Structure 1
Amino acid sequence: MLGLQYFTFEELWSPMFFFFMAALVILYFYLAGPWREKHVPEAPPVTVMQKSLFVTGAVLYYMAQGGPLELLGHLMFTFHMVNMSLSYLIVPPIILLSIPAFIWRSLFRAAFLKKLNLLMHPIFTLVLFNMLFSFYHVPVVHDYVMTHFLVHRIFYGVLLVAAFMMWWQIVCPVPEWNRLTDVRKMAYVFANGVMLTPACALIIFSSTPMYATYNDPEVWAKAMGYCVSGDPKALLSSFSGPSFFNLMEPAEDQQLGGIVMKLVQEVMYGAILAYIFFHWYKKEHADTEDELTDAGSAGAAGAGV
């Protein structure tokens, strides 16, 4: 129905990328099991929940960047935004929560890495991720990145690192490296939502197609050359361009893509905000009860005297 039947198994499933992601999962289970027992025996065992989160994050990232969703992202802008949402709004916090603190401590214990600590300032990471994400969705930038393979790989890699840096401030897996209080985390999440809104609004409220990658057959064929084998121009002899696969008009596809991105952002940030708020409320309530208990004990002791 979406046209995937016209592509080969290799084009749909990217076997090399699959094996790379599978190797990362195997490495994770080695570090979480035999390596921990040998090098950090005092560290608590990795939980089933953490292991499940890592596998889930790896599968989602593979689907978005190497599986059928990645190919669909070249055919429809809506799927492209689904992939962006998975890769930079959903996968990073899942992976951060799945990797135990002892692995992060071992990974960043090198002295030269500690010198990069300034790069992890919350304001810097906030601005960096949202600036890169918004800049990418400027039409001329998007089309350039999508049609230049090396630039595409580098930009996506930098954006992924920036996403992890941003999410680290919110779901920091190492307690002693946590820079923000719960209240500041709530403000941080809110600021993220505000800074991402202009890019989504630009896409949602534009009544004309902005991205040549999804409405210009020549540009589309060049971009498709990175995920299909053979001469990409041969696609134009078999298909009329992206319109052959798209279920909607380009402008409608573009608007739906912007809505998908905004909805995912709102759901993710809303869920994170709710979690942080209840965690903060529970902690504050527990602290208040402890203070009342201590005051009551002191009063009783005074009365006894």
Structure 2
Amino acid sequence: MQNPDPIDFRLTVAPMMDWTDRHCRYFHRLLSPHAHLYTEMVTSAALVRGNQVRLLEHSHEEHPVALQLGGSDPAELAAAARMGAAAGYDEINLNVGCPSDRVQSGRFGACLMREPALVGECVQAMAAAVDIPVTVKCRIGVDDQDEYADLQHFTRTMVSAGVRVLVVHARKAWLQGLSPKENREIPPLDYGRVYRLKQEFPDLIIVINGGITTVEQVQAHLGRVDGVMLGRSAYHDPYLLAQCEQALYGTPLPGKVQVLEHLRIYIEAEMARGTQLKHISRHILGLFQGEAGARQFRRTLSEGAHLEGAGWALVEAAMAPLRQAA
């Protein structure tokens, strides 16, 4: 497995189903040149047996970007990882944290935390197939498996399998009784358990995820672990990415209107390919969060982007109140 040090894991954006598609990632890259981005989870079966071109499509501007895979068959995951590496992704990440019913029925996601030996086999098979880092994203526990010793054993197994980067969502997952949305909100956060993991495995790159919403929180976590993964906060308030970028890397804050003007080339190129505006505009709705004119911006895009003929002119119309406020 290649040394993952060239990838800067300090600031990352979580893989989020139905959210972090290629349009979202392009937009996030405009806000943060350094953030490490992740795809939505793609199942290994879908890649091996399905439409590889569509599932692996991404733009050069998105890099550094990781492909997240879901699955539990070592050979199939190895084949999918090989496809991801050939497509140019910088990292392959294995999902051992998603709690949805669909994931459980397929024997992957958070339920695999009960089977660390199998996860280790999967990781080893993937690492043998590619020359880019193979990483794992997990929870701190699952259902009644709620002792630190369980997480400790899982982590030790990952290290033995060759994992050098572990992303830890600091909540356990309840596979029965809670929806995926509730699993992101109800189980209590336990950052201390992740910090303890870093102390015990100092050579392992630990990235913390869960409930992180401010630049100050990002900086505080970075005093204890190696990286921070933003999830819903980076999606609903995407300018947070630019603020974190400035704090961590000294990059000047971009103007929000200017960010959208830079996005215009992408929007028009995608529309020329047949992409509808609504598939891109839904990702930018939170850009002006909390500002005068933000509600009208969202309403204009939400009501108009799905209409036939909607294009850049609609984005300009949505920005008009914000230009006036500025």
Q: Report TM bin, short chain.
A: under 0.3
Give the structure with the larger strand fraction: 2
| TM-score, structure 2 as length reference | 0.24
Give the structure with the larger helix fraction: 1
Which gives a bigger RCO, structure 1 or 2 (Cα 8 Å, sep 6+)? 1
